Amino acid sequence: MSQFVDECGLNVRGGDGGAGSVSFRREAHVPMGGPDGGDGGHGGSVWLVADHNVASLIAFRDHPHRRAESGTHGMGKKRHGKRGEDLEVHVPEGTVARDNDSGAVLADLVHHGDRWLAARGGQGGRGNARFLSNRRRAPSFAEQGEHGEERWLRLELKLMADVALVGFPNVGKSTLISRISAAKPKIADYPFTTLEPNLGVVRLDDATEYVVADIPGLIEGASEGKGLGHQFLRHIERARVLVLLLDLAAVDGHTPADQERILLNELEQYRPELVERPRLAVGSRADLEGLVPGTSDTSGFDGLRVSAVTGEGLPQLTGRLADLVRAARAAEEVTEGFVVHRPLGEGVRIERADDGAFVVIGRQAERAVALSDLTNPEALDYAQHRLRSLGVDRALARAGARAGDRVRIGRVELDYEEDL
Ligand SMILES: Nc1nc2c(ncn2[C@@H]2O[C@H](COP(=O)(O)OP(=O)(O)OP(=O)(O)O)[C@@H](O)[C@H]2O)c(=O)[nH]1
Ligand SMILES: [Mg+2]
């Protein structure tokens, strides 16, 4: 079933950090108290979380943007801003997240509970209370909040079936899947119309989705290779729930009970554990029962009857399958979720822009100039000090920068001085 790949784009954006505050204590009779500006709150991050209750990527098709909450700004009296909430985006098990541009695999969310940090929230800016030092008694600047990370991802999912439709040829498996999902398989009144499995997503509501596979027909002897044989039994192996679709109007005289017995025998011959799988026997083509010449008028079947033509029994069928799939998923051992992190790109790197400017790349360096007011001499002094201690001036010198060259860091442009 690996030929069926669901794919979509997803734009994730962390919340922005709130700005730090510039504030001074106000006291009666004291003209200017110490700095008491609080820090901005950090922005929330966006996480992708594998969830076995999500069966497809359909939900992202029309709504591909996911954004976490921003932090709020700091305030006077050292009041810090509120941290933005993280956002968890639930994706199906087996979702692979790739970088949209390079195609590189960033995360492979295999098991229920696996989490991946898709877009980090921005750091909150520090308030002026943090910049107090012996040299700087009344810091009149604060840090800005950092923007949240933003990126386009490409999500890919190799669909695995929750439910496999197992039955003799021509019993209406393809017709059924075309009625309960958006799958559009070929349907015809002869055996072996279906040569490759078809997958369809049944979506009852936002919280209930499962994947159904329409498997090519099985006949007696399939486990020894008759008909389409082994090839397709293989596809049944991975399904959580089996539907034995039994024709209530079988022309060849096989009663539903005969069909059930033969199918179970073939499954058991192939893999004994398949008969332990949760399953539901369903009578198909109920509208034809007893009407087709040469078929018995009472099939003797007392299970759920459906007709893909009249729609009889379909809501009951999709509802019961939802319950069986939910129970089967819950019964699966929940493996310890692991967190896949991207390595942090720390350190400082210098690149040359097309216009000749030196571009300083590095999160900490960018933070060092993200101050509320770089025209404030005190703030500029602080920024230069930070850049020096991060090794930015050394890196620029090594890259060949000379006095007067333009240097860009984040959204700031400076002139290079030999001792920046
Ligand atoms: N009257 C009636 N006809 C049906 C119903 N479901 C399917 N059929 C007809 O039965 C024939 C076989 O249907 P398919 O859906 O192709 O059967 P299938 O099980 O997928 O067959 P294979 O792919 O060959 O194994 C077609 O002519 C359908 O139109 C039904 O509920 N009522
Ligand atoms: Mg078919």
Which tens digits make up the pLDDT trace of 206-241?
888 999 999 888 878 777 777 765 666 776 877 899
Distance 192 CA to ligand 1 centre (A): 11
Closest residue CA from atom 11 of ligand 1: 189
Q: Which two tokens stand for residue 156?
A: 């890919």
Distance 285 CA to ligand 1 centre (A): 8
- Ligand at shortest distance from the CA of 185: 2
Mean pLDDT within 284-288: 93
How far apart, in whole angstroms, are the C-alpha atoms of residue 167 and residue 189? Answer: 15
CB-hemisphere CA count at 13 Å for 401? 30
Which of 165, 166, 174, 251 best tests ligand 1's pocket when mutated (most atoms within 8 Å of CB)?
174
The whole-model pTM stands at 0.63
Res 150 pLDDT > 80? yes
Closest residue CA from atom 26 of ligand 1: 189
Per-residue exposure over 103-115, b if at least 16 CB sit within 10 Å of its own CB, e if not? eeebbebbbbbbb
Residue 331 φ/ψ, nearest 5 degrees: -75, -20
pLDDT number for residue 154: 95
Q: Is 178 left (phi over 0), alpha (psi -120 to 50) or beta?
A: alpha
Backbone Cα Rg of the chain: 32
From 83-92, 202-211, 245-254, 317-326, the region with the lowest mean pLDDT: 245-254
Under 8 Å CB-to-CB from 302, ≥6 apart: which residues?
A: none
Res 3 pLDDT > 70? no
pLDDT number for residue 240: 92
Residue 61 φ/ψ, nearest 5 degrees: -55, -50
